[in-house]
Amino acid sequence: MSINNSDLSPRILRFPRSDEPKACVLLHVTRRGPSALDLDLVGTEGECPFTGAVRQSHLNSYRSKNYQGTEDDWTRIILHVLGQAEQCGKEQDLFVGLEALAIISGSEIQDKEIKIVIRKRVQTITQKFGTLVLKQNDEQTIHLYDWTSTSAERADFLERRCSSLLDRYRAAEQTIKDLDVQLNELIGAKNRHEEQLMNNLMQLLNEKKLKIRNQQRVIATTEVAPEEGRC
């Protein structure tokens, strides 16, 4: 996959915690290689720093043994979960019911882990697809100001994109309305033309019928005249 500067920009993601409904884990995702899925991960639950990584060459090691999807689907799911959605096309059906939750495990003091569990919920059935693991790393610094700046920059970018798409949507909507008006006018003109053709046809048929009746009268008169003469 080709990459550009916008693809290389970090992402700040928020994952709800399964153990605390109102709590979350923040994840800083940075591209580190030529692949769309060579990523470094830095996370925090608000107290400790955690680090991890995703590598394109190890994608199968993150998936659950019970997940029977294709490698291509799994790649698209990881791209989607880690905020690299620009790379995964428009396979929206694949993401229906998909969710990613954070689980904090380990000691309260050290050796804690953040597990990002990827699963799919279909009605009352939940299927686990895979897990990403970040381990506690007290040497890692959490630059909250930089993270906030990245989030604000990303929000501005998405807001501009949304505004641009909204303008295009409104223009397309107006075009559709104009085309509907033209179509209705064409349908009206077609109906009037067909009605006029039918009227002309009926008039022509009536004229033909009148001529036939006149000819029949003439023929009848001609046949009666000789018979009268013989009498």
Specify the higher pLDDT residue, 39 or 92: 39
Is 101 a member of any domain?
yes
Is 49 a member of any domain?
yes
Band of pLDDT at residue 109, cut at 50, 70 and 90: low
Is 226 a member of any domain?
no
Per-residue model confidence as pLDDT tens digits over 85-108 = 764 445 667 888 899 999 998 876
What is the number of domains present in the chain?
A: 1
* Percent residues over pLDDT 90 in the chain: 61
Is 55 a member of any domain?
yes
In this structure, what CATH number is given to the domain that contains residue 107? 2.170.210.10
Is 165 a member of any domain?
no
Per-residue model confidence as pLDDT tens digits over 141-150 = 999 899 999 9
Specify the higher pLDDT residue, 74 or 91: 74
For the purposes of burial, counting CB atoms within 10 Å of the CB of 79, is it exposed (0-12), middle (13-18) or buried (19 or more)? buried
Is 212 a member of any domain?
no
Is 72 a member of any domain?
yes
Is 93 a member of any domain?
yes
pTM, full prediction: 0.70
Q: How many CA atoms lie within 13 A of 98 on its CB side?
A: 19
What does the mean pLDDT of the chain come to? 87
| Integer CA distances (angstroms), 210 to 146, 197, 218, 225, in order | 94, 20, 12, 23
Domain boundaries, position 79:
5-141
